[in-house]
Structure 1
Amino acid sequence: MSRSWPWSDGALAVDAVALAAVPFTPAPLAVVFLLYWIDTTVGALRVALRTALERPRGEYSPTGPPVTRPNGSPGPFRFLIPKLGALTPTEWLPPVTPHNVRSAVPGTLWACLSAVVIAAVATVIRTPLAVPPTAGVVAVGTATVLARHGWTLRRFCRSDRRPGRQTLRGRQLLWSLTAGLFVVGADTAYADAPENVTAVVTLVAVLAVAARIVIRRGVDPDAAVDTDATVDTDATTAPSTTVDTEPVTLSEPDGPPVERFGVDRRAARIAGALDGLVPWVDAGMFNLWVRVAGWFLPLVGVFLGVVVADLAFPVALFVDGVVPAVAVGGAFVLAGVAQFELAFGAMEYRLYDETLVAYDTRLDAVQWRAPVESIHDVTVADGPWLSPPGTDAGTVRLERSDLATTDRPYGFVRQSLVCVERPDHVADRLQRRLRRRRETTATTDR
């Protein structure tokens, strides 16, 4: 790692604006902490976007045992992890791999949540952020932060986009959890403390900027390990020190398929909405716990606020608690719909003489292959998550002997024809192919 001052990634420009807050704002320490909080939040979002734009990760290969947690790979957009192929959303962005998008979701959610908290804190502090020259310093600082991380992301997109380690560094997590307290505490010190105390607090603001510069010294913005925070979504207990970045591709058998089985996209979206509310498909306690917490934490927060403020409990809880809880539930539904649309909406299952192939027409890539001789049984799954209500679609489940792993979500994805049209017909066709294959094998063995 090189040892150089951090001019190249724009960190020093942010420090310069923070230092300018000392003589030009009435509460410089609060403004300094606020600017660094914004910098950390935008940096987390930039790393999340970087993760989405990285080259494909070979350790997510569906051709061998994948990297998963002991309880599988739960969480939002889990069905995107085994996806192969990439798409280019715009000309000025490199190809985006779906399993990288899934890895970027936690960091994106954290950055959005932090931004909401920043906005909330900005409305309760007594430092007049909307009054010049404080407004000018905050605006220039925010613009500098956006320019810094935007330039770094642009430079990454023009590089070889080598994946880095995705770790949530302890100091960044600690800062993200305590930054609001620092801002409110510094604002209170300037508002209520005597003049001699505020002079000391102003000196602390200068020292905070100096400490940030010293901490940033020696960080190489071009290193493979990014300097900002994101979330490790699929780590093993003994992670490898190297990252395999060779894209994995699966070939399609020669000749035309015997039959094609399409997906009912409307049914896939309905199944995604149900899975967003109650993730019974490939269920896990983590998935259920996340949704329950998402629904009830707004209610708990409003209850505590009502107790502190001594307001009318039923009215406040309904107006200020149920509405956020419904909004969170709606976000889960939209995430579930998006996940199933990206994971299964463009799938086409192609049956050849010897092989069943899952092909994503949107990504133009084979997702998995199953030799017919490895399929032991075919069944049509029941239940609203696998056979969505109001549709004629259903999910056909396969019993296979050639799977390298049955961990979630790989086992479900590679053993299921999700939301296919006319599932009974699909199962019947596959069973006929199995019987024909067995009869051929028995005749050959004689």
Structure 2
Amino acid sequence: MDHSGIYVGLDIGTTSIKVIVAEYIKKQLNIIGYGNTRSAGLNRGVIVDIDQVVEAIKNVIKQAEQKANKEITKVTVGIPANLLQIEQCQGMISVANEDGNAKEIDANDVIQVTKAALVKSLPPERDVIDVIPDEFIVDGFDGIKDPRGMVGVRMEMKAVMYTGPKTILHNIKKCVQKAGLEVKNTVVAPLAMAHLALSDAEQDFGTILIDLGGGQTTAAVIHDHKLKYTYVDQEGGDYVTRDISIVLNTSMENAEKIKRTYGYAHTSFASPDDVFPVEVVGQQEPEQVSEEYLAEIIEARMVQILEKLNQALESVNALQLPGGIVLTGGMAAIPGIRELAEDILGVNVKIYIPEEMNLRFPAFTQVIGLVDYVTDQSEIEQIVTHTLDKDYEYEEINEDDISIDDVEDYPQPKKVKKAKRNKKKKNKSGLADKFKGLFSELLD
């Protein structure tokens, strides 16, 4: 099984919906198109109006198709961590032939043992999002990563199963299908983000990845390359915008622009002398507001969010992990957020920003992570994961038969790279200027 081909990631977020089209060939992933549009029909990461979401998906897909010069038919969709449950599962089957003798294990045996592991009954309101194998055991020999080609009489698989609310999964798939697309893969969003934003060592030794989204804030604990724990706070960047709107008595649209253009998450970054005009409801003339006052509004909400995260992470001793915290998502672009997070969480904090041309914004981490994750899956992981598809049949593919139409016509942008860490200290003003530029150009 070869990964070569065209992959499309779809991130259905509360504030914006994003799509990227990537070409994967010769073990290299190149982004050849993308789309980004304001969301409609979502609340706190959950779909509340299918028709509005469908229209937004159609819009963003059209953008991506025009940039990539490629028709999009299948997408990999990120599933939010809302009410996510992480469970161990295992299954066992006989792989002996009709005479009871050992036989060579093949992909169909892997499919059958996966089905056996998924027999575990779930509550009627939950469904399986993904299943990832930990190990296979053949005739008592454990620690096997890929049993195909081995001979045995009995095979067992131990795996991690991720389940979520059936309503969330159904609504996401329904929206994608009504937009004229096929769901090729569903990926737990924190897994995809961690795969892109964390280095191999950070995933191994243990790191907390925090996604500061518009509709909600998600913390994911990654250890031993596995997702161990998630916590979702139903407050995000939209709450900050609402606070600004209420306190300054201005529209939500104006509040969002003000947040992006003049906002700081830490009051020590802002000056009481730097002021900007605010269009106040019921007044013809704008009022002058200081950046320091705006920073106080933003900081108050972010402190509340981060303190709740702190309590949740302390309850599972996650803050003791050596990797510290990596921040990403739309609100990670606001100046001073790293320093504020370090003050409250008491550990080393870094910010991850994708390095792809035109996509160097924290808000694009998830959608890039989706295609990075699925193209980096091992063959055995793909077989296990796709067993969830009712009509899945494994088919061996000859690498020599793979071809991609018009590959030479595609633009050749930068290769997707893993996170690089700049250990040099940056002065506050320089960092602030950099992130101000991000906020002025991109949706949350």
Per the normalisation by structure 2, the TM-score is 0.23
Structure with bigger gyration radius: 1
More strand by share: 2
More helix by share: 1
Greater relative contact order (Cα < 8 A, sep 6+) = 1
